Structure 1
Amino acid sequence: MIMKNYLKFIKLNEESITPKYLQIYNAFLAAVESNQLEVDDVLPSINDLSIALDVARNTVERAYRQLKNFGVVDSVPGKGYYICKVDFTHPIKVLLLFNKLSNHKKIIYDALVARLGEFGVIDFYIYNNEINVFRKIIESKADSYDKVVIIPHFFDEEESTYKLIETINKDKLVLVDKLIKEVNGDFCAVYEDFQKDIYGALVELKDRLNNYKTIKIIFPANSYYSKNILEGFINFCVHHSFDYEILSNLKNEVMMEGTVYINLREDDLIELIEQLISTNLVLGQNVGIISYNETPIKKIILNGITTISTDFMMMGETAADMIMSGCKSHVSIPFKVTQRNSV
Structure 2
Amino acid sequence: MNIKFTIEKNSNVLKFQQLVDAILDSISRNELKEGDMLPSVNQIMKDCQLSRDTVFKAYAELKKRGVVESVPNRGYFVTRKITKIFLFLDTFKAYKEVLYHSILNHLPKNISVDLHFHHYNIDLFDKIITESVGRYTKYIVMNFDHKKVKSIIDKIPEEQLLIIDWKINGEGKSSVYQNFGEAVYNCLDKNLDAISKYKRFTLFYPDFTYHPREVVNHFERFCKKYNLNHRVITTFEEFELKKGDLYFLVSDRTLAKFLDQCSEKGFEPGREVGVISYNETPMKKYVKEGITVISTDFTQMGQKAAEFIVKGKPVNVEIPTTLKLRSSL
Give the TM interval when normalised to the shorter protein: 0.7 to 0.9
SS in 2 for 1:299: coil
Instruction: Indicate which of 83, 96, 112 corresponds to 1:105.
Output: 96
After TM superposition, which residue ranges in structure 1, 4 or more long, deviate above 4 angstroms?
A: 9-16, 20-26, 40-44, 48-51, 59-63, 79-82
User: Which amino acid is the alignment partner of residue 229 of structure 2?
Assistant: D
1:74 aligned onto 2:76: no
User: Which amino acid is the alignment partner of residue 252 of structure 1?
Assistant: E
Contact 1:166 1:183 in 2 (8 A): no
In the alignment, which residue of structure 2 is the partner of 1:313? 299
User: Which amino acid is the alignment partner of residue 114 of structure 1?
Assistant: N
User: 226-235 or 139-148: which moved more?
Assistant: 139-148
Contact 1:306 1:338 in 2 (8 A): yes
1:37-82 alpha-carbon deviations (Å, 9 max, x no partner) = 94487779xxx999738xxx8x98765332x2xxx43368xx7996
Q: Following the alignment from structure 2 to structure 1, what is the Cα–Cα distance between the partners of residues 11 and 305?
A: 26
SS in 2 for 1:223: coil
SS in 1 for 2:276: strand
Gaps (5+ residues) in structure 2?
A: 43-49
Distance 1:260 1:316, change over 3 A: same
Contact 1:190 1:333 in 2 (8 A): yes
Cα RMSD (Å): 3.6
Q: Following the alignment from structure 1 to structure 2, what is the Cα–Cα distance between the partners of residues 130 and 170?
A: 23
- 1:324 is displaced (CA, Å) by 1.8
Q: Following the alignment from structure 1 to structure 2, what is the Cα–Cα distance between the partners of residues 205 and 100?
A: 31
Contact 1:314 1:333 in 2 (8 A): yes
Contact 2:32 2:78 in 1 (8 A): no
In the alignment, which residue of structure 1 is the partner of 2:152? 164
TM (norm. structure 1) is 0.78
In the alignment, which residue of structure 2 is the partner of 1:65? 64
Q: Following the alignment from structure 2 to structure 1, what is the Cα–Cα distance between the partners of residues 6 and 231?
A: 57
Contact 2:167 2:175 in 1 (8 A): yes
In the alignment, which residue of structure 2 is the partner of 1:150? 141
In the alignment, which residue of structure 1 is the partner of 2:76? 83
Contact 2:163 2:170 in 1 (8 A): no
In the alignment, which residue of structure 2 is the partner of 1:34? 31
Instruction: Indicate which of 165, 172, 175 corresponds to 2:163.
Output: 175
In the alignment, which residue of structure 2 is the partner of 1:242? 228
Contact 1:9 1:31 in 2 (8 A): no
In the alignment, which residue of structure 1 is the partner of 2:195? 209
Distance 1:240 1:135, change over 3 A: same
- 1:240 is displaced (CA, Å) by 2.3
- 1:205 is displaced (CA, Å) by 2.4
- 1:288 is displaced (CA, Å) by 0.1
In the alignment, which residue of structure 2 is the partner of 1:52? 54
Contact 1:212 1:259 in 2 (8 A): yes
Count the aligned residue pairs: 316
- 1:22 is displaced (CA, Å) by 9.1
TM (norm. structure 2) is 0.81
Q: Following the alignment from structure 2 to structure 1, what is the Cα–Cα distance between the partners of residues 52 and 120?
A: 34
Contact 1:307 1:338 in 2 (8 A): yes
Percent identity, aligned pairs only, is 24
